[in-house]
Amino acid sequence: MNFTLSGSLVTLLSERNIRIVSVSGVPKTLCIPVQDWSKVAGLLKREDIRLVATWAAQEVGEGFTVHAAYAKTGQGYALLQTIIGEDASAFPSITPHYIAAARMERLIHDMFGLIPMDHPDLRPWTKHEHWPSDAYPLRKEFATDTDMPRSEGEYPYIEAEGEGVYEIPVGPVHAGIIEPGHFRFLAVGEQILNLEQRLGYVHKGIEKGMEGRDAFSATRLAARVSGDATVAHSWALCSALEQAAGIDVPPRASSLRAVLCERERIANHIGDIGATCNDAAWSFMHMQCQRLREDMARLHKDLFGHRLLMDLLVPGGVPCDLQPSDMAILQAQTRTIADEMLQLYDIYENNTSIRERVIDSGTIAHDDAQGLGLLGYAGRSVGLKTDARADAAYPPYERFPIPLATCPGGDVAARLWLRFEEIQESARFLDNMLAHMTEGDTRCAWAAPEAGATGFAVIESWRGEIATWVRFAADGRLDRCHIRDPSMINWMGLELAAREVPVPDFPLNNKSFNCSYSGQDL
């Protein structure tokens, strides 16, 4: 991974007379005084440096640490941390500088009981109103072998007054077979004034469940963070584990991981294009996309043993390989599907009824998207160029770069166009990768690092950048793992997009983002 930004931050902080307490670990982590935590965030924001994630960890006998990862296009990533003393319970919030930190810091408050001072909204996020108020699951002393007592409470939703203003509560149980989430609309007539999300109904305790696991068991759990991004989440965790252990996987393993991840990208884009059109009652596109995605799933089952490519990555590489005949089959199907999607795009472009529904619907302004740090194709549909395949330059993308398509529209039409375009980009990448597949081993031996070793990795999933941080305890087991799915940020983008959209067009906007409920609820 590219960590050039770390050196730039050392220089920048020194020039601004901000003390760096220590620089330690691999990758290098800059430790700064807690009183400067928010000040540094404001400085980085003014330098157009993007917040990737912020999280907390409990230290043995030393209280807690709060961490943050930052990134800048062309300079890669940097890690910062600050120490909260054993007798302290608060730290300066960075939400006033980075909107994306709002829910991440609410999560820190829910899971650790630490208070981000000057945070504008400390209502519980993942901790639902029926959780005991003194339950902090990511603290080491939290008992996982007993049931929590049920409390009674009520979530204070945002309210509005005015002539004709009314609420529309939707979910968490939906008519379709989807994950549970609650949407509270404020509307006048059919016009949405505000959308407030209440998620957290599928809290699985992933991060708590990572504690005490070995690397292989942890990778299986990561594959289940969000099932439609199983390859990308497995890859992110494996990369962080391998960095902590000082292991470089064989080039062929990296190439095979990329093949799996790009196939996952194509399959999900195809499925969502069809589902978005179905929300506008255009069943033709939905059926064609379902057919193509099913073709992909059946080939995945034949070649890799799983329709959705689950459990195909392990620390040190991949447990499978492709024969030349297998690669030829993959190439042929990928080309055929890409060609069919081009034909379907022409039909979509000439269908007046769907175009009238998606153009100018759910538009997000460039400055709002940039301020939020919108990720993946949702960000690229507003002209942002955030893509971990380029920003982190991890193998094999440093040898086979993917040209990034962007457009300025910011509406449902733009998000759909980016999906069509990314299918073609990924298909060209796969054709090139499979034609020039590196020879050699597909995995190397795994050797667990010493206690205290850390790793941080980012992987570009089909939704956008996944960020994963790990720290080892003794005996090769994990002490702490933090995972930031792109949905943690992009759900907030949907709230922006839904404003001033008619209620019947919300499903189009929701599917155009297709954020993961499960992925943001760990």
How far apart, in whole angstroms, are the C-alpha atoms of residue 301 and residue 310? 10
- How confident is the model over 172-198, as a mean pLDDT? 91
Give the tens place of pLDDT for each residue, 81-126: 999 988 889 999 999 999 999 999 999 999 999 999 999 999 999 9
Confidence of residue 489 (pLDDT cuts 50, 70, 90): very high
| Confidence (pLDDT) at 413 | 97
| For residue 320, pLDDT beyond 80 | yes
- How confident is the model over 155-171, as a mean pLDDT? 92
Whether 66 and 91 have beta carbons less than 8 Å apart is answered as yes
Which 8-state DSSP code applies to residue 79?
E
Which is more confident, 179 or 411?
411
Q: Which two tokens stand for residue 171?
A: 């979910």
Residue with tokens 């993007």: 50
Residue with tokens 């040190």: 316
Q: Which two tokens stand for residue 434?
A: 């499979």
Order of all β-strands in the sheet with 182-188: 165-170, 182-188, 191-198
- How confident is the model over 149-155, as a mean pLDDT? 88
Beta bridge pairs of residue 481: 470
| For residue 176, pLDDT beyond 90 | no
| For residue 133, pLDDT beyond 90 | no
How far apart, in whole angstroms, are the C-alpha atoms of residue 521 and residue 457? 20
| Confidence (pLDDT) at 120 | 96
- How confident is the model over 141-163, as a mean pLDDT? 88
| Confidence (pLDDT) at 148 | 86
Residue 350 exposure: Cα atoms within 13 Å on the Cβ side = 6
Give the tens place of pLDDT for each residue, 223-279: 999 999 999 999 999 999 999 999 999 999 999 999 999 999 999 999 999 999 999
Which is more confident, 342 or 152?
342
| For residue 322, pLDDT beyond 80 | yes
| Confidence (pLDDT) at 218 | 98
| For residue 177, pLDDT beyond 80 | no
Whether 65 and 338 have beta carbons less than 8 Å apart is answered as no
Q: Return the minimum-mean-pLDDT range out of 62-71, 175-184, 305-314, 416-425.
A: 175-184
| Confidence (pLDDT) at 260 | 98
Residue 516 exposure: Cα atoms within 13 Å on the Cβ side = 25
| Confidence (pLDDT) at 317 | 98
Whether 383 and 366 have beta carbons less than 8 Å apart is answered as yes
Q: Return the minimum-mean-pLDDT range out of 41-55, 150-164, 270-284, 307-321.
A: 150-164
Give the tens place of pLDDT for each residue, 379-407: 999 999 999 999 999 999 999 999 999 99
Q: Name all domains of the chain by residue range, CATH numbers in brackets.
A: 4-117 (3.30.460.80), 206-310+322-520 (1.10.645.10)
Confidence of residue 493 (pLDDT cuts 50, 70, 90): very high
For 415, other C-beta atoms within 10 Å of its C-beta total 31
- Residue 153 has φ and ψ, to the nearest 5°, of -165, 175
| For residue 143, pLDDT beyond 90 | no
Taking each helix axis as running N to C, give the angle between helix 283-304 and helix 324-349, from 0 to 180 degrees, rounded to the nearest 10.
170
Q: Which residues, including other chains, have CB under 8 Å from residue 336's CB and lie 6 or more apart?
A: none
Confidence of residue 151 (pLDDT cuts 50, 70, 90): confident
Whether 31 and 6 have beta carbons less than 8 Å apart is answered as no
- How confident is the model over 216-221, as a mean pLDDT? 98
At 460, which amino acid appears? E
Strand extents, DSSP E, 155-273:
165-170, 182-188, 191-198
How far apart, in whole angstroms, are the C-alpha atoms of residue 272 and residue 491? 16
Whether 23 and 30 have beta carbons less than 8 Å apart is answered as yes
Q: What angle do CA 59, 468, 229 make, to 5 degrees?
A: 145
| Confidence (pLDDT) at 87 | 81
| For residue 129, pLDDT beyond 90 | no
Q: What's the sign of the alpha-carbon dihedral 482, 67, 451, 449?
A: positive
Closest among 229, 121, 110 to 485, alpha carbons compared? 229
| For residue 25, pLDDT beyond 90 | no
Q: Which residues, including other chains, have CB under 8 Å from residue 118's CB and lie 6 or more apart?
A: 38, 92, 93, 95, 96
Confidence of residue 324 (pLDDT cuts 50, 70, 90): very high
